[in-house]
Amino acid sequence: MRDLSITQEYLICAVNEKGKISGFSTERLVCLVAAGLLDMELAGAVRLTEKRVEIAGPLPENREYLKSLYLFVKKHNPVKTEKILEEYTYSMSDKRLQMLLDDVGESLAAQGLARLQEGGFFGRKSYVPQREAIRSVVDMVRAELLEDGPVSQEVLILAVLLDKGKISKDYFSKFERQEMAQRFRAIRKTREGQMVDQMVEYIENMIATMTVLMTMFS
């Protein structure tokens, strides 16, 4: 579904049947934030380095659902990646994370790709992706990585996020995951794969940083 962003496609696959991501799914939460940051970098709104994020330009209108994350970066510009992770995935309050989830979920609902579900213990709303939306995203990844032909940069990044977020096994067989990993390794060695390679390293560094934070505060 290439009319959607990486963040939207990731969220479609990352939430459970109630439209939520468990607080115990640390990797899924970290990869959601990573998806938002990577989307904004591809849009020219932020610039990512190994340890910091800084504003590089305005946030495009078609990425309005990332505004809360963009404004957080802008307020602390430049901001350490560690601080973003603390605020979004390891804070006493999940206010910032919930805002990001709501905004991205609402953008999907506006396109008929998710339905609003209100209620729950705290009365919080959530957005449940339509089954067709899930199938479309999964089929797109499967088609580009398991069939001959070019693979878009966005699909490569999405596939990495699904893998690092421990989501791939929910949608792809062991054989498919092995085949995709092999295709991905081959692509990363090409000149075209160098930028994706840098983004993969960024995602891995974010997860490693989160692991350190969990150790410090445990």
Instruction: Supply the pLDDT for residue 92.
Output: 59
Q: Helix-strand-coil percent breakdown of the chain, rounded to 5?
A: 60, 10, 30
- Residue 184: pLDDT over 90: no
Instruction: Supply the pLDDT for residue 2.
Output: 59
Instruction: Supply the pLDDT for residue 187.
Output: 84
Instruction: Supply the pLDDT for residue 121.
Output: 56
Q: Tell me what the pLDDT averaged over the chain comes to.
A: 90
The more confident residue out of 26 and 6 is 6
CB 20 within 8 A of CB 181: no
Q: pLDDT digits over 65-84, tens only?
A: 999 999 999 999 999 999 99
Peptide bond into 78 cis (omega under 30): yes
Q: pLDDT digits over 93-112, tens only?
A: 689 999 999 999 999 999 99
Instruction: Supply the pLDDT for residue 60.
Output: 97
Instruction: Supply the pLDDT for residue 3.
Output: 87
Q: pLDDT digits over 153-170, tens only?
A: 899 999 999 999 999 999
Q: pLDDT digits over 19-68, tens only?
A: 999 767 889 999 999 999 999 999 999 999 888 999 999 999 999 999 99
Percent of the chain with pLDDT over 70: 92
Quickly state the pLDDT bin for 199 (edges 50, 70, 90): confident
> What distance in Å separates the CA atoms of residue 162 and residue 171, rounded to the nearest whole number?
10
> What distance in Å separates the CA atoms of residue 10 and residue 101, rounded to the nearest whole number?
11
Find the mean pLDDT for residues 185-200: 80
Return the amino acid letter for 25.
S
- Residue 100's SS3 state is helix
* CA-based nearest residue to 176, from 144, 154, 203, 152: 144
